[in-house]
Amino acid sequence: MKRGFWEKLSSPILCLAPMADVTDPPFRRIITKYSKYGGQDIFDDEGKLTRPYKTTGGPDILFTEFVSCDGLCSAGKERILKDIRFSEGEHPIVFQIFGGKPENFKKCAKLAVELGFDGIDINMGCPDRNIEKQGGGASLIKNLELAKEIIYATKEFSGNLPVSVKTRLGYNEDSLETWLPYLLETDLAAITIHLRTRKEMSKVPAHWERMKRAVEIRNISGKKTFLLGNGDVWSILDAKEKIRNTGADGAMLGRAIFGNPWLFNKEIMRENLPASEILRVLVEHTKLYEELMGGVKSFSVMKKHYKAYVNEFPGAKELRMKLMGTQNAKEVENIIQSFLD
């Protein structure tokens, strides 16, 4: 088993979930700056650290938003590469990929090594029907042989990089008792379990009681694979409590990061910040999005963050409505400045 950076981590492991059109290069850089480096301007335009600085926390692991193996093996590769760029301060960072063709996982594993990622994560949990039609995501829970073939193909070409999987409790029903042992047989460095079935999507509370059983299954197997839980983790304290109650090695936080790049900061809490500081970071995030993702993604993708940033202070609703009508970072900056004045 190649464990790589995982060997250096100790429980409780707290990491940021990969989320499509959310954990893109600009947001990861903002999270790194405000969670890990306390808001210090220590990055140059290319995302490299300009000087060492004592960290104030930060996620133990960052993941890219998931990208298509087939896409990275097509003529559209260059555009996708812009979506998985990372800054120097984001290590350890894991490259998450999806697909249904083992030969393309081999190529993407080699690419991960070339690009300098710290690990590779295979998505076997996404419920999106278009991804399932490609043989990827949650559909692999129903196709055990293909799932295993993909894992071994990735491991074969991953060099020294550890390989992990993010999945669910099952497809139409909870199949943890058979699905997890099957994955454990492949000697993965880590497995993250979204504690719902594919059928349940996110419509029911996450079944964190099943995480305890997952740990028992892992322990009985004798494997050293790390197990992380995911789903309905709303704060760092909540994550630590869930880890303690289940015996999991860690937890993955997703929606809790919306509008709160300070989430993993040990010294700063969003609720203690004035609205002016939160709005200043919103503008910074927007400018960085335009700089890094202009021509790659629509500006409207950035707007999904505004509802989370702009709330819980007087005039927030009216300000949000104005921001949703903007077309670029300059308009956002002008509206925010007028509001603060």
Q: Which residues are catalytic?
A: 126
List the structure tokens of 32. Answer: 């790194």
The answer to whether the CB of 112 falls within 8 A of the CB of 118 is no
Residue 136 CA to residue 335 CA, distance in Å, equals 42
Residues 6+ apart with CB under 8 A from 26: 285, 288, 289, 291, 292, 293
Closest alpha carbon to 196 in 165, 166, 170: 170
**Phi and psi for 278 in degrees, rounded to 5?**
-65, -40
Tell me, what DSSP letter sits at residue 142?
S
Looking up tokens 């203690």 gives 272
Closest alpha carbon to 105 in 147, 144, 154, 32: 154
* Secondary structure class of 78 (helix, strand, coil): helix
**Please, what is the Cα angle at 76 between 168 and 73, to 5 degrees?**
60
The answer to whether the CB of 186 falls within 8 A of the CB of 159 is no
Tell me, what DSSP letter sits at residue 17?
P
Assess whether the previous peptide bond of 59 is cis (omega < 30° from 0): no
List the structure tokens of 302. Answer: 């950035």
Q: Is 96 left (phi over 0), alpha (psi -120 to 50) or beta?
A: beta
* Secondary structure class of 309 (helix, strand, coil): helix
